[in-house]
Amino acid sequence: MGNIVAIVGRPNVGKSTFFNRLTQSRDAIVEETSGVTRDRHYGNTEWNGIYFSVIDTGGYVLDSEDVFEEEICRQVELAIEEADKIIFLVDAMEGLTDMDKDVAALLRKCKKTVFLVANKIDTPIKIAEAAEFYSLGLGNVHAISAVNGSGTGELLDELVDDMENEPEEEEHDIPRIAFVGRPNVGKSSLINALLGKERNIVTDVAGTTRDTIYTRFNAFNFDLELVDTAGLRKKGKVYENIEFYSTLRSVRAIEKADVCILMIDADHGIESQDLNIIHLIQKHNKGLVIACNKWDLVEKETNTHLKFEEQIRKRIAPFHDVPIIFTSVLNKQRIHKTLEKAVEVYNNRTRKISTSQLNEHLLEIIQQTPPPTATRGRFIKIKYITQLKTYYPSFVFFCNRPQDLKDSYKRFLEKHIRNLWNFEGIPITMYFREK
Ligand code: GDP
Ligand code: GDP
């Protein structure tokens, strides 16, 4: 199980307020780069040292009176299917409503852990107002105020209590590659073109967990497991809100994969949803390959692909050391290349640099361009570097005054690591510790 938490509930109970409280300051990077907060429906957060993903289902609901009851129930069903834990928010100021009862009925049937949370309890006197929600039959009622934060600490303590930090990757020998991206970019088409046949689509039973599907791909000298997110096209069930569903699937697939092939539509370029996905891939320390698909639709002049590449790299900065491939599934152009690159990136992810190599090369660079002196005029000295035994590349720099080291200098170090060794497509984690 991963650490995916979905916030569900009817409109105006405070879902996005609570979501923002959980993710805001910590997710500032996404906001900065995308420039859009409105469509930010999921983020990462941390409590007691445990990282988890939060999905705000509310952002997807169309605010029109007659459709929403049905729409909300559908969101809840999807959340049940895809999330690990569910926070069901109700409004203590308004009290129990029929819609709350309908949502509760769905949640009572599911096997996921549900936290029933009465929001808008801004003062202790109001805690009594939470009592009526016990009748929903979902156990304990957590009283919180999303606006001032009271009660949220206790709720989060319980929420993360049995979560593992960094959901440990399941043991597996065969590289796992996920195709992620917005609806309609060509994920299913690509997978079908690779597999050469229509895949079996596993039918799901309502209210049960449907784990992401792995398809063994053993052909053309590849031996891989493809992590299916494109299983979106479920026969007989057409989701109006494909975007929401694909987000849920992507979050799960990213957790399961070693390397993600993010497909974008050449016609649209990188969109803010894509940046969210990249951010998530980075947070989970997974590999990334960008496939710019539908290349056949683009009118080309000299160097068109270089210009595209440059634009993409600008958008995804600072994590721009990423392979970008221009594909056309329609014309069968470079579709195997996506997998070749993914395998390269997989290998980069397992790359281990010996301590002696690291110190020999990096200490010299550091000596030539030492860290700028700290504010109080003290020198920062990096003495020793070593790579940790994590399943993704992470490095520790032992130094005095690590807290004074500037971000710009950290980026300088990362740039040199990338110049010296091949970590293309891989986020690099760096720790600075006092020895
Ligand atoms: P959503 O539709 O469920 O995402 O709800 P919002 O987060 O947009 O909140 C709906 C309204 O409830 C907004 O006006 C919020 O300011 C208000 N609200 C949210 N949480 C609280 C709270 O803890 N206390 C009070 N008094 N108001 C809240
Ligand atoms: P998914 O939602 O990401 O799985 O996207 P699909 O694989 O269902 O593709 C969406 C649409 O884009 C379909 O009509 C495909 O035929 C079309 N499509 C996929 N790849 C290409 C391509 O390389 N070029 C063009 N022109 N159309 C494509």
In this predicted model, what pLDDT tens digit does every residue of 317-329 receive, in sequence order? 989 999 999 999 9
Q: Of 385 and 70, which is predicted with more confidence?
A: 385
pLDDT at 68: 61
pLDDT at 206: 33
372 neighbors 412 (Cβ within 8 angstroms): no
pLDDT at 139: 93
Which of 8, 10, 12 is the pocket-test mutation for ligand 1 (most atoms within 8 Å of CB)?
A: 12
Digit-coded pLDDT (tens) for 100-141:
999 999 999 988 999 999 999 999 888 888 999 999 999 999
Q: Is the CB of 297 inside a 6 Å radius of any atom of ligand 2?
A: yes
Digit-coded pLDDT (tens) for 391-417:
899 999 999 888 888 899 999 999 999
> Distance between CA atoms of 107 and 113, rounded to whole angstroms?
9
pLDDT at 290: 98
Q: What is the pTM of this model?
A: 0.71
Name the pLDDT band for 265 (thresholds 50, 70, 90): very high
Q: How far is the CA of 45 from the centre of ligand 2 (A)?
A: 33
Q: For the range 416-424, what are the long-range contacts, defined as Cβ-Cβ under 8 Å and sequence gap of 24 or more?
A: 416/361, 416/362, 416/365, 417/362, 418/321, 420/361, 420/362, 421/351, 421/353, 422/348, 422/351, 423/321, 423/348, 423/351, 423/393, 424/321, 424/322, 424/323, 424/344, 424/345, 424/348
Q: How far is the CA of 229 from the centre of ligand 2 (A)?
A: 15
Q: Which of 124, 62, 122, 57 is CA-nearest to residue 93?
A: 122
Q: For the range 313-319, what are the long-range contacts, defined as Cβ-Cβ under 8 Å and sequence gap of 24 or more?
A: 315/33, 315/269, 315/270, 315/275, 316/270, 316/275, 316/278, 316/290, 318/411, 319/278, 319/282, 319/288, 319/427
> Distance between CA atoms of 29 and 418, rounded to whole angstroms?
22
Reply yes or no on whether the pLDDT at 170 is more than 60.
yes
Q: Is the CB of 183 inside a 6 Å radius of any atom of ligand 2?
A: yes
Name the pLDDT band for 432 (thresholds 50, 70, 90): very high
Which of 179, 243, 247, 329 is the pocket-test mutation for ligand 2 (most atoms within 8 Å of CB)?
A: 329
223 neighbors 215 (Cβ within 8 angstroms): no
pLDDT at 393: 95
Name the pLDDT band for 236 (thresholds 50, 70, 90): very low
Q: Please identify, by atom number, the ligand 1 atom nearest to the C-alpha of residue 20.
A: 7
pLDDT at 229: 61
pLDDT at 304: 93
> Distance between CA atoms of 40 and 24, rounded to whole angstroms?
10
Reply yes or no on whether the pLDDT at 266 is more than 80.
yes
Q: How many CB atoms lie within 10 A of CB 384?
A: 15
Of the segments 199-213, 267-281, 368-382, which one has the largest average pLDDT value? 267-281
Q: Please identify, by atom number, the ligand 2 atom nearest to the C-alpha of residue 230.
A: 4
% residues pLDDT > 90 (the chain) = 49
82 neighbors 73 (Cβ within 8 angstroms): no
Q: Is the CB of 292 inside a 6 Å radius of any atom of ligand 2?
A: no
pLDDT at 231: 46
Q: How far is the CA of 50 from the centre of ligand 2 (A)?
A: 38
Q: Of 26 and 44, which is predicted with more confidence?
A: 44
Mean pLDDT of 141-149: 94
Q: What is the mean pLDDT of the chain?
A: 83
276 neighbors 40 (Cβ within 8 angstroms): yes
> Distance between CA atoms of 209 and 212, rounded to whole angstroms?
9
Digit-coded pLDDT (tens) for 345-365:
999 999 999 999 999 999 999
Q: Please identify, by atom number, the ligand 2 atom nearest to the C-alpha of residue 183.
A: 2
Q: Is the CB of 294 inside a 6 Å radius of any atom of ligand 2?
A: yes
What radius of gyration, in Å, describes the C-alpha atoms of the chain? 23
